[in-house]
Amino acid sequence: MFGRNGVQHVVVGTSLWAIIASALGIGLFSLLLTTELQVGEIKTAPMWRRYAAFFIDIWFFVFVFANTTAIVPLLIEAARTGSFRWHFERDFSTSSDWMLSFLISFLILVGIAAMASYFVLPLANRRQTLGRWLLRIATVNADGLVLNLPLRVAFRWAYAEMSELFSPFFLWKTLREKDEQGRTFHDRESGFTVVRY
């Protein structure tokens, strides 16, 4: 929903194939959450693998979440018009738009919590996200064992890792201060290391 020149525009759309792909994605992520990760020989993961895994995870999460939640406004519009369509666009407001606006705000909050859970729950349970599974990277402790962290610690570690990846200061420090094993500043400070296996 957006306004332009005093006119309210509402656009929503998805497709049956996107919903099916999202359901398959949810199934794949559920499978990853039920499969405990075991690693053999390990080596510190290069930064390009970490970035690639992160961007795969972000794309995957946004694709699945956006397509599955798009069904909500489509159903509200179907109830208003009496017919369901996979896409609609209109240039006028209706009485149901307040409910639509409320639900979209609520879904954004749910999305923020779900995204945090997407990254934190695997760390807390010896599991992996899709990006890490595809690129065969894992976070291990000093003994080379896959992490099984309390939720609070997993959240802090995930936040610190994202800060390292996307803060110019930490990135500069990371690239400048790797040790002989290729561990980053954050790896050394936390005692955990992102490795490829």
User: For each of the chain's 197 residues, which pLDDT tens digit applies?
Assistant: 677 777 777 788 899 999 999 999 999 999 999 998 888 888 888 888 989 999 999 999 999 999 999 898 898 888 888 899 999 888 877 777 777 788 888 999 999 999 999 999 998 988 999 999 999 999 888 777 887 888 998 898 888 888 877 877 776 766 666 677 777 766 776 777 788 88
Residue 148 φ then ψ, to 5°: -135, 80
pLDDT of residue 88: 86
The CA distance from 102 to 149, in Å, is 35
Give SS3 for 43. strand
Contacts with 4 (C-beta within 8 Å, 6 or more apart), sequence order: none
Residue 187 φ then ψ, to 5°: -60, -45
Q: Tally Cβ neighbours within 10 Å of residue 17.
A: 10
Helix ranges (H only) for the chain are 16-34, 47-69, 71-81, 97-124, 130-134, 151-166, 168-176, 185-190
Distance between first and last Cα of the chain: 45
Taking CA atoms, 71 is separated from 67, 104, 142, 154, 168, in Å, by 7, 11, 45, 32, 38
Residue ranges making up the domain that contains 66 = 2-196
Q: Tally Cβ neighbours within 10 Å of residue 122.
A: 26
Of the candidates 55, 50, 65, the one whose C-alpha atom is nearest the C-alpha of residue 171 is: 50
As beta bridge partners, residue 89 has 11
Give SS3 for 86. coil
Question: What are the tokens at 127?
Answer: 């599991």
The CA distance from 92 to 191, in Å, is 56
Residues in the chain: 197
Hunting for tokens 């760390």 — which residue is that?
Answer: 123
pLDDT of residue 89: 85
Residue 183 φ then ψ, to 5°: -75, 145
- Please state the domain count of the chain: 1
